[in-house]
């Protein structure tokens, strides 16, 4: 490996560390950026290009090679986004000159409509936990918090006891970039969470050794704090028990939460705040799932309707 390639890889490592430590990027984001940037570094070495000072033509050549290799447009766009973020950081740190990626527009992509659970699917899923067991009470609390808050699975995994306030009917979530938001809970969610705390969590906690994370809200069957992966495993088990299609993920609960709020008459800005979206445009995709509600709003409110 020549010095130029070694320096590029070293700076990529520094940037990935910055993402993780200072920007609060999720493990999935860190993994994706690492893969994208290391692939770019390998290409630069193979093509004999200066990876730290490429021209716009060089970057376009790399993206063209990805397309020629059969990568989907969405994957190519993700690689470009990673490279763009990396060079923005290099510029901010004074480690690079002109940004070669600024002039390259991201490809326009059709945004797929999110998966949403049908009412009967949601009902079956919510009935899947075995409430006679401590683990079942935990599973019920997990599902209820999913559909009551629209939380990401990583946000539920990060919950501590102090974040769920049953007495005040609210839960505190920490989203991307550690941004905090407070989401109200309805009565059923409070009741299910209270039952887990009173009748399930202590039993689960007693099955494991003392832990520095005893404050964790969700405890596994082995008495340990549950990671996002552990919660996903439980969700998948409940999904199979309820006969829910395999392509339904925990994130579908977030989509269902948002869609149901809009159908119920919530305004888009409120849904944006509850979901923790930085941009309203991200939330607007849910309007495509509620055409009947929008038609009704026009007929009721438009002066010429």
206 CB-near residues (< 8 Å, 6+ apart): 223
Do the Cβ atoms of 113 and 100 come closer than 8 Å? no
The CA distance from 302 to 305, in Å, is 5
Q: Is 90 helix (H, G, I), strand (E, B) or coil?
A: helix
User: Which string of b and e fits 230-259 if b means at least 16 CB within 10 Å?
Assistant: bbbebbeebbeebebeeebbbebbbbbbbb
- In sequence order, what DSSP letters do the residues of 45-74 get, joined into one string? HHHT--TTS--HHHHHHHHHHHHHTT--HH
Q: Are 289 and 114 in contact (CB under 8 A)?
A: yes
User: Computed from CA positions of residues 70, 74, 79, 83, in that sequence, does the dihedral angle turn out positive or negative?
Assistant: positive
Beta-ladder partners of 164: 171
Q: Are 248 and 117 in contact (CB under 8 A)?
A: yes
Reduce the secondary structure of 91-117 to three states and give it as a string. Answer: HHCCCCCCCCCCCCCCCCCCCCCCCCC
Q: Provide CB contacts within 8 A for 229, sequence distance 6+.
A: none
How far is residue 174's CA from residue 198's CA, in Å, rounded to a whole number? Answer: 25
Give the span between the Cα atoms of 305 and 303, in whole angstroms.
Answer: 6
What residues are labeled active site? 152, 176, 251, 254, 277, 286
**Angstrom distance (rounded) from CA 227 to CA 230:** 5
């Amino acid at each position: 490996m020549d010095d130029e390639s070694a320096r590029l890889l070293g700076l990529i490592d520094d940037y990935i560390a910055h993402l993780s430590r200072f920007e609060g990027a999720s493990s999935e984001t860190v993994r994706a950026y690492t893969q994208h940037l290391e692939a770019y570094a390998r290409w630069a070495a193979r093509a004999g290009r200066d990876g730290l000072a490429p021209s716009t033509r060089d970057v376009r050549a790399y993206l063209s090679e990805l397309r020629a290799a059969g990568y989907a447009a969405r994957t190519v766009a993700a690689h470009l986004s990673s490279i763009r973020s990396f060079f923005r950081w290099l510029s901010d740190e004074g480690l690079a000159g002109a940004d070669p990626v600024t002039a390259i527009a991201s490809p326009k992509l059709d945004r797929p409509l999110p998966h949403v659970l049908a009412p009967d699917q949601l009902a079956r899923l919510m009935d899947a936990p075995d409430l006679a067991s401590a683990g079942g009470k935990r599973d019920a609390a997990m599902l209820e918090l999913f559909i009551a808050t629209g939380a990401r699975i990583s946000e539920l995994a990060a919950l501590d006891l102090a974040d769920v306030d049953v007495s005040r009917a609210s839960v505190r979530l920490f989203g991307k970039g550690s941004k905090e938001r407070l989401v109200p809970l309805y009565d059923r969610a409070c009741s299910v969470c209270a039952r887990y705390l009173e009748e399930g969590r202590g039993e689960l906690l007693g099955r494991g050794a003392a832990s520095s994370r005893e404050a964790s809200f969700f405890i596994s069957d082995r008495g340990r704090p549950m990671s996002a992966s552990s919660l996903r495993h439980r969700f998948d088990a409940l999904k199979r028990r309820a006969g829910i299609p395999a392509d339904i993920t925990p994130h579908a609960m977030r989509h269902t939460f948002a869609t149901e709020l809009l159908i119920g008459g919530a305004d888009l800005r409120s849904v944006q705040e509850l979901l923790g979206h930085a941009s309203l445009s991200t939330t607007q995709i849910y309007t495509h799932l509620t055409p009947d509600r929008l038609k009704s709003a026009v007929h009721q409110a438009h002066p010429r309707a």
